[in-house]
Structure 1
Amino acid sequence: MARPAHPTAVILAAGSGTRMADATGGVPKQYLTYAGVPLFWLSARTFSRVAAMRGLVFVFPPADAERMRAEVERLNAEEDLGLPFAVVEGGARRQDSVRNGLAALDRKCDTVLVHDAARPFASASLVTALLDALDADAQGAIPAIAVPDTIKRVQGTAVTETLVRSELRAVQTPQAFHREPLEEAHRRAQEEGWEVTDDASMVERLGTVTTVPGEPGNCKITTPEDLKRLEEPVAEISVTGWGYDVHRYGGERPLVLGGVPIPGGPGIHAHSDGDVLLHALADAILGTFGGGDIGSHFPDTDPNFEGANSGVLLKEVQLMAMKAGASIVHADLTVIAQTPKLAPHAKGIRRNVARLLGLDESFVNFKATTEEKLGFTGEKKGIKAVACVSAVRRFA
């Protein structure tokens, strides 16, 4: 078979959650939150990180479908996954919910990944491995992990058989299939009354299903004890943001750097107060969480920002960073100007920037230099600033 060209994920979130109702306060497990978002959205986020993916189908309980359609739209507005999606109603059984999801697939879809929202920690690399396995002409590919315990078949309390452990595997989702054999398997299951617990057991009756190594962390939230996994701390990684800004001399704005007025300095052309250093710093902070640049948030065409205090704008950017889970830990700042002399103001600028960032002064560095009378600043036409910000960002 040809390489999958239009894979779509069907995310099953249609369970009633009755087995865990006491432990969750009646909230179905697919709606439980981790790192600020519902479990089903964690799975959607994972699929969106696979370049080959072309769409998502969410399956919710019939009574929740309209409400959850609005919730998916809200989540996607806040964090655009870059994939088209559909929301459909589930059925009485798992296989009925999958069949409803298949009916909502785009006609271009050639590959389907069926995934349980109760497995929120599957990785993008696992999805890629499943799609790669389908390249080898298998009709289906599933994640499987070795069974660590000896398994026995029993009737009542009597052991009737000890199974060969080396031949046993515990399987997970997502499970990947070429669309045609999966749809045919569901058609046969409906016509012939098959009762199954996963989609692979259907497709196995029609063709070959292969396995890829599963992931120990790809656990299913099934019992009250599993809820402890949702209490684990999110991961923290170090990130860096870079900022640059420039302003022309000769304007009417008095020169301010890092929120500190520079007496006798050249006037600045600017829409806001023209603090080139805080503008570069704000851009660097935005860079720590992919927040764009200050021009997109505070455009110079907006009269509301006429003469705006850059310290206030910086605080707004810091709030954005906080909401994105980024904590600023260090800033290294440089101003490039032939004039005025900034050495007398260096300590005050450093102190004020540290205050604005809520950092000890030892975590803020400030430097000033010239370009040896070369170029834009060397000819005293303007001033530049660059900023490098280090931060710790929290991720699910």
Structure 2
Amino acid sequence: MSIKNIDLSLVVMAAGNSSRFCSSNPTCNHIKKQWLRTQTLPLWQKVANDFSKLYDFKKIIITASKEDFEYMKKISDFEIVLGGNSRQESLKNAIKKVQTEFILTTDVARWNMDKDVWDRMLESFDDSIDCIVPYLNVSDTAMYEGQYINRESLKLIQTPQLSRLSKLKSSLDVQEFTDESSAINYHNGKIIYVKGSPKLTKLTYYEDIHFLNQLPPVSNEIFSGTGFDIHGFEKNKPMFLGGVKIESDFGFAAHSDGDVALHALCDAMLGAIGGGDIGEWFPDNDPTFKNADSKILLKQIYDFILSIGFELINADITILAQTPKISPYKSQIRECIAKILYTDKAKINIKATTTENLGFIGRKEGVSAIANVNLKLTNWKERI
């Protein structure tokens, strides 16, 4: 088999929740490391693109968390697979989609692929191997459980790792392993070790973010979205607008609390990121969201937006109502929305108008709202 003609698929591991990455730095802004951007590209997309230029893979698969799964499917041309609660579980899910004889796995945390390492892996390939893995030597004196050990015998294992699919599958079913080579080694597979690279240093903690300084800067583009919602009235139901309880004898006929202002804002947020609409996120036929508090729904959407590397510039909401009177509540609504979106009220604008007694709203049968938002990409370089 030619080293340039391996029956090979790629799996990019990107389903982690970045708990270690954000836990030690309050300026993290909730962003997951796989969603740190170079220009507009998130790291997981950059990694997949870089590898696609190195080799003609039969298939490129990217694992995603359950929170990111549907969104990544919307915006990516690669195959997205739902990850699990551990790296190994995510890998097992991805393997189900692989039909090639060999599989290359890499972690998005090792975002800076070194072509020289890849060339060494290809040059080391032969039909008898079960795994090829890059490593680094240890240069410092090493101690384990109170005893000094021979550093010459130590290897720091890196990814990507090239594995025989059949051997990897059978090796993952016994216990939890931290990488492919340890699983295959446990099952007496043939492993070839090749010299790795400092370029493959893993992005684990927030203080590691300086490794990304060599990347092109984050784009300063503005991402805009609009949203609209309308609901008729329902007697003997509380009314909420913009997250604020309104004094009224009726509320909104809706599956949730029917807060048209927050629903329009949710849709505007989702529109700015290409994330679908509120009905996809919170279906009105799902009993989970019966009488749901729309403040909670908006917070869930905005927390997701932060986690994938966007943040709010400003929001502008227009409420169209003949009744009730909105003006007395505008300041409260601004403060409520600003709190949900972790910002100050200067970035939130609330406008209210009537329809001059015209139409559905003018007949005092319901209320509607229009929202416009502007988002920007989180500039992580400003947070170092």
The one of the two structures with greater contact order (alpha-carbon pairs below 8 A, sep at least 6) is 2
Query: Any idea what SS the aligned residue of 1:204 has?
Result: helix
The answer to whether structure 1 residue 60 and structure 2 residue 64 are counterparts is yes
Q: Is the 8 A contact 2:9 2:58 kept in 1?
A: yes
The answer to whether structure 1 residue 199 and structure 2 residue 180 are counterparts is yes
The answer to whether structure 1 residue 95 and structure 2 residue 88 are counterparts is yes
Q: Is the 8 A contact 1:134 1:178 kept in 2?
A: no
Match of 1:211 in 2: 193
- Relative to structure 1, is the Cα distance of residues 212 and 89 closer, same or farther in structure 2, using a 3 angstrom cutoff? same
- Please give the per-residue CA displacement for 1:44-79, whole angstroms capped at 9, x wherever unaligned: 122111234222000000121110111213xxxxxx
Match of 1:70 in 2: 74
Q: Is the 8 A contact 2:135 2:157 kept in 1?
A: yes
Query: Any idea what SS the aligned residue of 2:79 has?
Result: strand
Match of 2:51 in 1: 47
Which of 220, 227, 234 aligns to 2:209? It is: 227
Displacement of 1:97 = 0.5
Which of 135, 139, 143 aligns to 1:152? It is: 143
Instruction: Tell me, in whole angstroms, the C-alpha distance in 2 between the residues paired with 1:128 and 1:173.
Output: 14
Match of 2:21 in 1: 20
Query: Any idea what SS the aligned residue of 2:72 has?
Result: helix
Structure-to-structure mapping, 1:1-396, within 5 angstroms: 5-21=6-22, 22-73=26-77, 85-105=78-98, 107=99, 109-135=100-126, 137-154=128-145, 159=146, 161-186=147-172, 188-189=173-174, 194-206=175-187, 207-232=189-214, 234=216
Displacement of 1:129 = 2.6
- Relative to structure 1, is the Cα distance of residues 178 and 201 closer, same or farther in structure 2, using a 3 angstrom cutoff? same
Displacement of 1:24 = 2.4
List 4+ stretches of structure 1 deviating above 6 A: none
Instruction: Tell me, in whole angstroms, the C-alpha distance in 2 between the residues paired with 1:152 and 1:38.
Output: 38
Instruction: Tell me, in whole angstroms, the C-alpha distance in 2 between the residues paired with 1:128 and 1:145.
Output: 16
Q: Is the 8 A contact 1:134 1:177 kept in 2?
A: no
Displacement of 1:234 = 4.3
Unpaired runs of 5+ residues, structure 1, are 74-84, 236-396
- Please give the per-residue CA displacement for 1:178-201, whole angstroms capped at 9, x wherever unaligned: 111111112x32xxxx12111110
Q: Is the 8 A contact 1:18 1:26 kept in 2?
A: no
Displacement of 1:138 = 1.9
Q: Which letter maps to 1:178?
A: R
Q: Which letter maps to 1:140?
A: C
Instruction: Tell me, in whole angstroms, the C-alpha distance in 2 between the residues paired with 1:136 and 1:151.
Output: 36
Q: Quick check: which has more Rg, 1 or 2?
A: 1
Instruction: Tell me, in whole angstroms, the C-alpha distance in 1 between the residues paired with 2:129 and 2:116.
Output: 19
- Relative to structure 1, is the Cα distance of residues 233 and 67 closer, same or farther in structure 2, using a 3 angstrom cutoff? closer
Instruction: Tell me, in whole angstroms, the C-alpha distance in 2 between the residues paired with 1:23 and 1:138.
Output: 45
Q: TM-score of the superposition, structure 2-length normalised? A: 0.52
Match of 1:311 in 2: none
Match of 1:285 in 2: none
Query: Any idea what SS the aligned residue of 1:220 has?
Result: coil
Match of 1:319 in 2: none
Q: Which letter maps to 2:7?
A: H
Instruction: Tell me, in whole angstroms, the C-alpha distance in 2 between the residues paired with 1:41 and 1:118.
Output: 12
Query: Any idea what SS the aligned residue of 1:202 has?
Result: helix
Instruction: Tell me, in whole angstroms, the C-alpha distance in 2 between the residues paired with 1:151 and 1:43.
Output: 32
Q: Is the 8 A contact 1:6 1:52 kept in 2?
A: no
Paired residue total: 212
Q: Which letter maps to 2:97?
A: A
Instruction: Tell me, in whole angstroms, the C-alpha distance in 1 between the residues paired with 2:127 and 2:153.
Output: 22
RMSD of Structure 2 on Structure 1 (CA): 2.0
Query: Any idea what SS the aligned residue of 2:118 has?
Result: helix
Instruction: Tell me, in whole angstroms, the C-alpha distance in 2 between the residues paired with 1:66 and 1:87.
Output: 9
Instruction: Tell me, in whole angstroms, the C-alpha distance in 1 between the residues paired with 2:59 and 2:119.
Output: 15
Q: Which letter maps to 1:92?
A: N
Instruction: Tell me, in whole angstroms, the C-alpha distance in 1 between the residues paired with 2:59 and 2:115.
Output: 15
Instruction: Tell me, in whole angstroms, the C-alpha distance in 2 between the residues paired with 1:51 and 1:197.
Output: 26
- Relative to structure 1, is the Cα distance of residues 18 and 149 closer, same or farther in structure 2, using a 3 angstrom cutoff? same
Instruction: Tell me, in whole angstroms, the C-alpha distance in 2 between the residues paired with 1:35 and 1:168.
Output: 38
Unpaired runs of 5+ residues, structure 2, are 218-384
Instruction: Tell me, in whole angstroms, the C-alpha distance in 2 between the residues paired with 1:61 and 1:174.
Output: 20
Q: Is the 8 A contact 1:23 1:224 kept in 2?
A: no
Q: Which letter maps to 1:209?
A: I
Q: TM-score of the superposition, structure 1-length normalised? A: 0.51
Query: Any idea what SS the aligned residue of 1:114 has?
Result: strand
- Relative to structure 1, is the Cα distance of residues 59 and 233 closer, same or farther in structure 2, using a 3 angstrom cutoff? closer
Q: Is the 8 A contact 2:38 2:215 kept in 1?
A: no
Q: Is the 8 A contact 2:63 2:81 kept in 1?
A: yes
Instruction: Tell me, in whole angstroms, the C-alpha distance in 2 between the residues paired with 1:39 and 1:233.
Output: 10
Q: Which letter maps to 1:20?
A: F
Instruction: Tell me, in whole angstroms, the C-alpha distance in 2 between the residues paired with 1:141 and 1:13.
Output: 21
- Relative to structure 1, is the Cα distance of residues 233 and 64 closer, same or farther in structure 2, using a 3 angstrom cutoff? closer
